[in-house]
Structure 1
């Protein structure tokens, strides 16, 4: 039996905020203090003395105003529970950042009766949508544009 030669090749999803060359090990972000060590970014209590200074991908995304995910919160419900929902969002960010230090909220704003949360990467946006949905039910919709490292999340609940 002959082997098939037509393979499906996964195209690399380009992220301009990850450099192709490796960061010096160890390196520390001069903006937020996250450390690149043993091939990953992590929070360390003590930064190694020989750490090279860098600007991490999350801080660069924030400076460039370049989101990796966006969450739209709509409906009458969120305005009546705004403080609780913002606390849930902040707690979700803190929890995600402990595990994935580059996952951050860029900003939270209100526009046209919606709360809009922009994040550095898609994982945090998805987690925020899922956390709100789990806590308050409502409708949740996720959209990953094809071939992009990006997510749009919509959550809606009327009173």
Structure 2
């Protein structure tokens, strides 16, 4: 006999993606990313018939609503601050090339720690993994259950 009482996981809703499709093509009037053939991409030339929109990433930034947050701390961070910040910016540039909606909202330095807020969880995870791969230390990823969100913690003393 087959069990019929399986728990079906509901799709995690993202309020920054509209249920209706964007007009094809559409261009974000803030950052210039183009929605074309069902995806957001950077284009050298924006199609002439593109409708003006505000993309989900720009809306998240305006609303100050992050999809991921990275905490970096430790004595090692204080000694290698500029080098680590440069690595973080490189990761953002690499990620934005293929996922234009993945962006850093802000980077704040608080009591010798960095707090980096990103538009979506993928970039936050990639930043944490890149810092960990380059500089070792301790890395923890925390995905709150049922949320499209991540908290990344990285720490290294020596």
Return the offset for 1:9: 1.4
- For 1:152 and 1:53, how far apart are their aligned partners in 2? 33
Q: Distance in 2 between matches of 1:61 and 1:149?
A: 13
Q: Which residue of 2 aligns with 1:62?
A: 61
Between 89-98 and 104-113, the greater mean CA deviation after superposition: 104-113
The runs of 5 or more residues in structure 1 that have no matched partner are: none
Question: In the alignment, which residue of structure 1 is the partner of 2:49?
Answer: 50
TM-score, structure 1 as length reference: 0.96
3-state SS in 2 of match to 1:135: helix
What's the Cα RMSD here?
1.0
1:1-159, aligned counterparts within 5 Å?
4-159=3-158
Runs of 4+ in 1 over 2 A off after TM superposition: 2-8
Residues paired across the two proteins, number: 158
Instruction: Tell me whether 6-15 or 86-95 shows the greater mean CA deviation.
Output: 6-15
Cα deviation for residue 6 of structure 1 reads: 3.1
Tell me the distance in 2 between the aligned counterparts of 1:38 and 1:121: 22
